[in-house]
């Protein structure tokens, strides 16, 4: 029986520099016609060459993950999670955007050295399966009247996808966004007219996320309908625990917060403790943890 996610074989078709810190890689392949994208923050897995530099081709099968785990670590592909930024099945193309941070990691290193024709394997939702494949936190049916988006550059492709989805609605919601990026030159058009967007540049930050947290404290607007007093807030997310909580389906207000783990934890405490944001109206997602691989 076909599974919700499967392996797709693709080839790098072209590279597009979105900003100095964000590179869009356009991948193509006949198999892309069988892929689906169920939400603007759809997560996919990219399989990079193994630690020894070995390029291992995983077979397309219904138990791909079991086969992946069965490989010895010296030849097992390095798996990283990314956002499916765009899918064009008729053209057999997808877009994946990479936050560039030098040659310090397998994904950024691959993105900066790969050239058109380079091959890659991607694990993505299987279009042959009618059921929902999961792997997202902002469902297409979510339609709150007010939205709060907070993201760093690693979560920016998903946040921009959410903004584009909201802009297509007959009655777009009121949006407030805070985007934390390395450079002023990393700002980009949001495509969502009327959205109140705060760009925070880390050029002068001494502590990662400090400027973002300060901007949120100064400008965030949590409506009364999304505030709740006396809620019990779990503090079980220590330094070793990856924070990942999903909102319900609020009609009035929804918050989507994603980025580096310690920053997301601080933002969660700020919004829930200081502004009494109802935790059921917010998704908090640690996309990555500084100083830790994977």
Q: What is the pLDDT of residues 234-247, one digit of tens each?
A: 665 555 556 898 88
Task: Indicate the CATH number for domain 5-125.
Answer: 2.40.30.10
Q: What was the pLDDT predicted at 211?
A: 94
Report helix, strand or coil for 212: helix
Ranges of residues in the chain with a pLDDT under 50 are: none
Residue-wise pLDDT for 24-63, tens only, equals 999 999 999 999 999 999 999 999 988 766 777 888 887 8
**Tokens 């996610």 label which residue?**
5
- Is 184 in contact with 203 (CB distance < 8 Å)? yes
Q: CB of 42 within 8 A of CB of 135?
A: yes
Residue 288 pairs in a beta bridge with 260
β partners of residue 26: 14, 95
Backbone angles phi, psi at 214, to 5 degrees: -65, -40
What integer pLDDT is reported at residue 237 of this predicted model? Answer: 54
Q: Which residue has the tokens 């597009």?
A: 16
pLDDT for 142: 82
Where do the CATH 2.40.30.10 domains begin and end in the chain?
5-125
- CB of 162 closer than 8 Å to CB of 176: no
Question: Of 3.30.360.10, 3.40.50.80, 3.30.465.10, 3.90.930.12, which CATH number belongs to 146-288?
Answer: 3.40.50.80
Distance spanning both ends of the chain, measured CA to CA:
30
Residue owning tokens 């490989």: 71
What is the C-alpha to C-alpha distance for residues 256 and 138, in angstroms, rounded to an integer?
8
Classify 259 in phi/psi space as left (phi over 0), alpha (psi -120 to 50) or beta: left
**DSSP three-state, residue 107:** helix
pLDDT value at residue 241: 59
Residues of the chain with CATH 3.40.50.80: 146-288
Phi, psi of 227, rounded to the nearest 5 degrees: -100, 145
- pLDDT, residue 140, reads 81
Q: Taking the model in full, what pTM does it have?
A: 0.94
Closest CA to 152 of 81, 258, 289: 258
């Amino acid at each position: 029986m076909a599974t919700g996610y499967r392996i797709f074989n693709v080839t790098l078709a072209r590279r597009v520099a979105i900003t100095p810190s964000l590179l869009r890689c356009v991948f193509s392949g006949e198999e892309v016609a069988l892929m689906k994208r169920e939400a603007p923050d759809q997560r996919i897995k990219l399989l990079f060459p193994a630690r020894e530099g070995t390029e291992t081709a995983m077979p397309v099968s219904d138990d791909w993950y079991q086969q992946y785990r069965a490989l010895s670590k010296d030849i097992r592909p390095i798996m990283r999670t990314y956002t499916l930024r765009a899918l064009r099945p008729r053209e057999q193309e997808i877009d994946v955007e990479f936050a560039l941070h030098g040659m310090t990691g397998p994904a950024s290193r691959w993105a900066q050295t790969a050239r058109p024709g380079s091959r890659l394997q991607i694990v993505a939702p299987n279009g042959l399966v009618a059921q929902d494949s999961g792997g997202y936190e902002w469902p297409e049916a979510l339609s709150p009247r007010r939205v709060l988006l907070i993201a760093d550059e690693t979560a920016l492709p998903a946040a921009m996808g959410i903004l584009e989805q909201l802009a297509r609605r007959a009655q777009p919601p009121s949006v407030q966004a805070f985007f934390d990026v390395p450079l002023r030159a990393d700002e980009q058009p949001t495509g969502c007219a009327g959205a109140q967007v705060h760009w925070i540049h880390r050029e002068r930050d001494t502590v990662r996320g400090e400027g973002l947290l300060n901007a949120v404290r100064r400008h965030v607007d949590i409506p009364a309908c999304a505030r709740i007093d006396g809620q019990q807030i779990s503090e079980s997310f220590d330094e070793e625990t990856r924070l990942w909580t999903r909102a319900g389906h609020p009609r009035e207000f929804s918050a989507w917060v994603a980025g580096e783990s310690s920053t997301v934890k601080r933002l969660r405490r700020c919004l829930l403790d200081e502004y009494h944001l109802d935790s059921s109206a917010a998704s908090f997602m640690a996309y990555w943890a500084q100083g830790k691989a994977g």
